[in-house]
Structure 1
Amino acid sequence: MNALARRAAELLGVPVAEARPMAGGDLSPCLRLRLADGRDVVAKSGPAPREEARMLAAIAASGAPAPAVLAADETVLVLECLPATGTGQQAEADLGRVVARLHVTEGPRYGWHADYAFGSVAIENGWGDDWPAFWRERRLLCHAGHLPASLFRRVERLADDLTNRLPERPRAALLHGDLWGGNVLYAGERVSGLIDPACYHGHAEVDLAMLSLFGRPGPAFHAAYGTLEPGAAERAPIYKLWPALVHRRLFGAGYDGMVEGVLEAAGV
């Protein structure tokens, strides 16, 4: 039994009968465990398991579905194993309702009470009251020294123009923070859970942009989510740039095309 399964068993006080690797886990190893008492649970590591537990609790408190936290310490997070049987015809509409419900929850300022990380890439979440300044400092200029100079100069040009492109004080919605299709579990017509969050409070359009980075939600999602603010399409590339830059830093120059495409869409 590996260390992750062993520590999960210690935290739960129940022996593990079987441990199987789960799909994904590029940044955080993840196991499905069959316990001696017959339950199935999920055990994962991560940059800050206790912080992820707080994020999942915040998502659940919003009314959006998330796995229950069974145990957590500084190295391991143990979660309820949610049904994930695939999508039905109405699942996209349910995702629209779920994301809208998540975004209703509002924070006092932009940010989160702790920093986080995607692997080796820090997520700076220090509180702020000026949204363009938050996005400029915490999500764009933070990549200085980690990108080719020519690419970073384009990022800087965009960052310098954010006061003309982003609203100064949008509602500080609760964001999932890493909302792509792989972090949504479906059971038939319903979303059974949002997983692997990187939560903070910010402009709701950030999650919507991320959701369309590797796919494109259809009309049923948008009808259920509700009308977007004027200018959302023009802001989407600005918000897509953050995850594109993260992917470039984590996985290398193969993501230069994505970053350049997003910058071109933003007119930079």
Structure 2
Amino acid sequence: MSAMAERAARLLGGKIAEWSRFAGGSLSSLDLVRLTDGREMLVKSGPSPKVEARMLRAIRAAGVPAPEVFAADDTVLAIERLPDDGGLSGAWGDLGMVLRRLHEETGDRYGFEDDYAFGRLAIRNTSDDDWPRFFAQNRLIAAATGTGSDIERRVEALCGRLCDILPRRPKASLLHGDLWSGNVLTFAGKVSGLIDPACYFGDGEVDIAMLGLFASPSCAFFDAYGPLPPGHRERAPVYALWPALVHLNLFGSSYRGMVDGYLRQTGH
């Protein structure tokens, strides 16, 4: 029996009827649990389950589908299991509408009330009212540190001219923050939920750029999301560089080519 499952059951005042491992991400463990009273849930570990719970609740409060949070403490997070048929190819249009709705939720400054992490890599969300400075310090430089002197030098050079590339004060939209295609659940042509968030307030183009990391959003997505501001194509490789750096930092040299490609697109 999983210690995570047992802890979640205690938090919910129930007893476990069935338990099994569930296919999850590379940075956390995931269990599927059914209690004797019939309640079913996914139980996961993570760098900060309570923070993830607040992020999921923020997404739901914006009117966007995400798993309901059943319980959370410093060790585990128990959430609703949502239907998923893996049919993102038929749900791009709905995802465009869903993401637009999420980005319509705004804050006064960039950042989030809590810091977070991807595994051992810290994600600082210290509030700031200067977007290029926030993205340089809390995203690009932080993720580049430890990836090698060449990459670090090129990222620092890019950050030195971010004010010329990124808008100083774009709308501070609520971002999912880790919106690659695997974190979008779909069912019957609709988005059933956004999962594994790393939320903060920032430029909505960050989420869109990350979607293109391992997938190709269709025209239906962009039509449903709506027009992007002028210059978004030039900003996209800057925004995609951050998750590429995260992958290089956490998973090693197989992602160096991806990082190099985005840096070259920015002229560095």
Coarse TM-score class (shorter-chain normalised): over 0.9
Specify the code of the residue in structure 2 equivalent to 1:259: V
Give the equivalent residue in structure 2 for 1:23. 23
Aligned pair count reads 268
TM-score (norm 2): 0.97
User: Is 1:252 equivalent to 2:252 in the alignment?
Assistant: yes
Q: Displacement, 1:13?
A: 1.1
Q: Say if 2:144 and 2:245, in contact at 8 Å, map to a contact too.
A: no
Any idea what the Cα deviations from partners look like across 1:198-226, whole Å, max 9, x if unmatched? 00000000000000011110001111110
Paired residue for 1:38?
38
For residues 144 and 220 of structure 1, the distance between their equivalents in structure 2, rounded to whole angstroms, comes to 34
1:41-120 counterparts in 2 under 5 A? 41-87=41-87, 90-120=90-120
Write out per-residue CA displacement over residues 90-139 of structure 1, whole angstroms, 9 at most, x where no aligned residue.
51111110000000000110000111000000001000000011011111
Change (3 A) 1:152 1:63: same
How far the C-alpha of 1:88 sits from its partner, in A, is 7.2
Partner of 1:189: 189
Give 1:143 deviation, angstroms.
3.8
Query: Deviation string for 1:210-248 (max 9, x for gaps)?
Result: 000111100011111100110001000000111011101
Q: Which runs of 5+ in 1 are unaligned?
A: none
Cα distance per residue 1:48-92 (max 9 Å; x no partner): 111111000100011110111001111110001111123277511
1:88–1:188 contact (8 Å) kept in structure 2: no
Query: Superposition pairs for residues 123-134 of structure 1, below 5 Å?
Result: 123-134=123-134
Moved more, 253-262 or 143-152: 143-152
1:145 to 1:220, Cα distance in 2 relative to 1, 3 A: closer
Aligned equivalents of 1:65 and 1:144: distance in 2? 32
- Where does structure 2 lack aligned partners over 5 or more consecutive residues? none
| Letter paired with 1:203 | D
Contact 2:125 2:200 in 1 (8 A): yes
Moved over 6 A (4+): none
Q: From the superposition, tell whether residues 4 and 218 of structure 1 become closer, same or farther in structure 2 (CA, over 3 Å).
A: same
Structure 2: how far apart are the matches of 1:145 and 1:70? 36
When the two structures are superposed, what TM-score results if normalisation uses the length of structure 1? Answer: 0.97
Alignment correspondent of 2:178:
178
- Describe the shift of the 1:11–1:132 C-alpha distance in structure 2 as closer, same or farther (beyond 3 A): same
SS at match of 2:20: strand
SS at 2:110's partner residue? coil
Matches of 2:136 and 2:63, distance apart in 1: 31
Alignment match, 1:137: 137
Structure 2 CA distance for aligned equivalents of residues 219 and 170 of structure 1 = 24
- Find the residue that maps to 2:193 and give its secondary structure: strand
Give the structure 2 partner of residue 149 of structure 1. Answer: 149
Letter in 1 for 2:98: V
On the 8 A contact 1:111/1:200 being kept in 2, the answer is: yes
**Amino acid in the other structure paired with 1:201:** F
Once the two structures are overlaid, the 10-residue window that deviates more, 21-30 or 120-129, is 21-30
RMSD: 1.2
Q: Which residue of 2 aligns with 1:238?
A: 238
Is 1:8 the counterpart of 2:8? The answer is yes
Amino acid at match of 2:261: G
Contact map agreement 2:144 2:151 (CA 8 A) in 1: no
Give CA-to-partner distance per residue, 1:23-49, whole Å, 9 cap, x none: 223101011112212232110011111
Instruction: Tell me, yes or no, if the aligned pair for 1:29 and 1:45 is still in contact at 8 Å.
Output: yes
Mapped to 2, the partners of 1:265 and 1:21 lie a distance apart of 41
